[in-house]
Structures are given as C-alpha cells and as structure tokens.
Amino acid sequence: MKTIIEPFRIKSVEPIRMTTRAERERLIREADFNLFSLASDDVLIDLLTDSGTGAMSSEQWAAIMRGDESYAGSPSFYRFEAAVKNLMPFKHIIPTHQGRAAESILFAMLGGAGQIIPNNTHFDTTRGNIEASGARADDLVIAEGTDPTSLHPFKGNMDLERLTAHLEEHGDAVPCVMLTITNNAGGGQPVSLENIRATAEIAHKFGKLFIIDGCRFAENAFFIKTREPGQGNREIVDIVRDCFAVADAMTMSAKKDGFGNIGGWLAINDDDLAVEARTHLIRTEGFPTYGGMSGRDLDALAQGLTEIVDEDYLRYRLRTNAYIVEKLVKLGIPVVQPAGGHAVFIDARAWLSHVDPLAYPGQAVAVALYEIGGIRSCEIGTAMFGRQPDGSEKPAAMDLVRLAFPRRTYTQSHADYIVEAFEELQGIISTLKGYKIVEEPALMRHFTCKFEKM
C-alpha cells in the first residue's frame, strides 16, 4: 500500500472550536497581530510548537495511574531511569522539569565568563543559559545547513573543519562541544551517525566533553536509518544507542521525543560532575529521584520512551511533513527542503519578496495563515531575532515561518486543510503588507510585542 496511515486509532477526542474568517480577523487584531497573544480555543490547528503538545497513548495514561509520589526512591523514578538507560546508556540520569532546566544546571557548572561553547546550532534556551552564565555560544553548522534550497541529507551536521579550527583557536576557553539532534533552529534537520562520531572524536582529541542535546533523537535516528549508507537494516534502538554511546553527557526535553506533556533530564557519565549537578538539582528542581517531575510524569515518560522508537510511528511522523512540503513545492511556495523532522519551514523572505525584511514578511505570512485558516504558526526571523542589544534593528539571517507538528495529534485531513489554506494564501500573496512593531520589551520581544499592519 502506498498510503502511510496514522498508526493509531482515536479513543478520546478534543473538539476543535470552529471560527469564521471574520471572527479570526477580529481576534488577531485584538491580539495586536501577535499569535502568542491568542487564546488557544480560538485556533483551529495549533502548530506553534511540537513541545509538550502531543497526544499520550492509552498505555501512557494507564502508566499515570501507576505513578508513585514518594519524595525519595519512588518506583516511578526507577522505571523512568531504566527506560532512559535502555536507549542512552549514561551512568547518571538526573530528572528535570523540562529541557531548559537541564541546560541551566549544565551551564552553571560548565559556563561562566570567558568560556565558549560550540554547537551545530544552539536552540534559543541553550544559548540563553550559556549567555546568562557569561559564556559565549557559537554556531558551526555546515554551510548547507543555512541554505533553504540545499538538498543535503544531513543539513544539521557539524562543520568538522570549522570545529577543529575553533578548538585550535580557543583551546582552554572551550569546556565542551555540543551537538543538537535534530537541529531545530536550522529547520529540524538531522545529523548523521558518521558526523556524530566524528564530532565526538574531535572533541575528545582536544580533551573536551562531548554533549548531545537529544530532544528529537528518535526522529534523527529514523533519518539515519533511511538516509545514511549502511544503516537501512538496523533497528532504531540500536542506532539511538550508537548515537549516545560516544557522548559524555546529554540534555533532553522529554516534551519532544519522550511523548511527554512535561519533563526532561540531564545525563552524565562523570561522577564528580553528577554530584555537582545533583546539588544544583536539589536547590532548584527537587530531590534526585523526581527532580522537577511528579511520579506520574516519570511513569508517562518511561512508557513514552518505549513508544517513540517504534518504526511505524516514525515513518508516519516524518511522512506528515514530507507530504505537506511536496504539496507546497508543487504550488511554487518556497519551503526549506528536504522536510525536517518536526516541522515545515516556509521561506517568507523569498515568498514575499515585495516586503522588506524590516517589515517582517514572516509575521505577514503567519497572520494571514491564521486569518485564512485559523492555523497558528510561528515567525522565526526578523521579528524574533532582529532587535540588536543597542535597540537598533537588523534583518535576521532568514525570515522563516515554522509549522511545528504536535505528535500523534492531527490527521491527514488536517494536513490537506493546511495545504488548502496555503493555496488560498498563494493567490493573494502579492497583496500582503508588512508590519511594524509599536510596543516591545527589551528582551525576547516576539512573545509579547504588539504589531500594527502597514
């Protein structure tokens, strides 16, 4: 059969409140054209993020009833720890309430003034935690990784030559080398097993810790299986184990490939670092056998981690994005190719060539998609990154719009509806106008700023 079906049946549903276009035009105006300010009940298809928004399985809901809320030594923790170690054989598993809490603990230990931390591309919160410690965050992804049209199969790969030069230049200032799989900030693009191993080898040659941000490890493993020579006949779990076998530590947001609504962890091999991390954990998150989670969260993740490596699920998961990307390409809409693991990225700067980057073409696309179809996406461009520390304004590297797909939540008819909304938008694209920001905070303005249509 050619059709890749959703490999699940639906047992419990959440109704979508239908809205009219006139209603949505009013609602987005009242929200000052900022999609973060909308009530989610006013959204038909919510693609703001894939983080914590997925559907849990019946087995996960059953596991929640098993959750044990003991402060210390809960069996839920041991089930969670075993599930993590089954995939990622690190010595110490330290539970946190989400990914950024693991990052905060890690960089409280490894960061600090004068330190420099390279990555393929740091996610915002990783960068934020590094910079808050006084350290610097450098992005060293391969050149193809920032070219929306390049069809390279592993656009998330670390640029190994630049990494070597970086380590030769900065030597003692670098405490660790990071690698984000998949590379979210670069379009959800995967990193090959070969590149993971080579990055680890270079880090170790220079005596540095090698740390993986593993948020979307299962999607990355499926890309390895389907795209990397020699990997096609291997089990996903074996590929996952190989990815982490060469790492000294990892950070994780279990809200992504943990099938959790909340949760995360920091995993470390070094005993001394683990003692230090647990001390931070007790001060900021909780006792080491629950960290920032309840016992029921830990059990939901223990079960989720067995489901996320299911090949039928992953085939369907990655097909959803590829299906939409193929149709958008046919419509002549510029998109980041090949399709990423968790999201579809629209190249708004190319699509709205008549709108200046400083008039936020990505915001114009995101607002129009909401007005036309009630679809909530997210601008990742000049509105998000354009404000400089001195308050001036500069175009971001790219003006993208991200449609991130919650796991197991929407169906193929939702995908067809999204494509239909794009088709309608394509018909009026030359009439779209830019935006200006009329009110903004000094930092992370995109969450709360107010826009006005030009």
Footprint of ligand F0G (CB under 6 A): 49, 51, 98-100, 123, 125-126, 180, 184, 213, 215, 253, 255, 264, 404
CB of 85 to ligand F0G, least distance (A): 20
CB of 101 to ligand F0G, least distance (A): 7
Instruction: Kindly give, in sequence order, each residue whose CB lies less than 8 Å from that of residue 425, ignoring residues fewer than 6 positions away.
Output: 365, 368, 369, 372
CB of 267 to ligand F0G, least distance (A): 14
- Tell the burial category of 391 from Cβ atoms under 10 Å away from its Cβ (0-12, 13-18, 19+): exposed
Q: Which residue is nearest to ligand F0G (CB)?
A: 99
- Tell the burial category of 72 from Cβ atoms under 10 Å away from its Cβ (0-12, 13-18, 19+): exposed
CB environment 129-166: b (16+ within 10 A), e (fewer): bbeebebbbbbbbbebbeebeeeeebbbbbbeebbeeb
Question: Cα–chain-centroid distance for residue 192?
Answer: 17
- Judge whether 100 and 266 are in contact, CB under 8 Å: no
> In the complex with ligand F0G, which residue's Cβ is closer, 217 or 355?
217
CB of 427 to ligand F0G, least distance (A): 30
> In the complex with ligand F0G, which residue's Cβ is closer, 57 or 96?
96
> In the complex with ligand F0G, which residue's Cβ is closer, 90 or 123?
123
Q: Which tokens go with 216?
A: 């979307």
> In the complex with ligand F0G, which residue's Cβ is closer, 100 or 349?
100
* Owner of token pair 């992953």: 314
> In the complex with ligand F0G, which residue's Cβ is closer, 125 or 294?
125
CB of 274 to ligand F0G, least distance (A): 20
> In the complex with ligand F0G, which residue's Cβ is closer, 49 or 412?
49
Q: Which of 110, 34, 16 is nearest to 453 (CA)?
A: 34
Q: What is the dihedral of CA 367, 425, 326, 256, to 10 degrees?
A: 10
CB of 201 to ligand F0G, least distance (A): 23
> In the complex with ligand F0G, which residue's Cβ is closer, 57 or 98?
98
Over its C-alpha atoms, the chain yields an Rg (Å, rounded) of 22
The whole-angstrom separation of Cα 337 and Cα 153 is: 9
CB of 149 to ligand F0G, least distance (A): 23
Helices 295-307 & 75-87, crossing angle to 10 degrees? 30
CB of 3 to ligand F0G, least distance (A): 29
CB of 233 to ligand F0G, least distance (A): 29
> In the complex with ligand F0G, which residue's Cβ is closer, 53 or 412?
53
Residue 401: CA count within 13 A, CB half-sphere:
27
The distance in angstroms from the start CA to the end CA of the chain is 49
Q: Which tokens go with 179?
A: 């690698």
> In the complex with ligand F0G, which residue's Cβ is closer, 130 or 335?
130
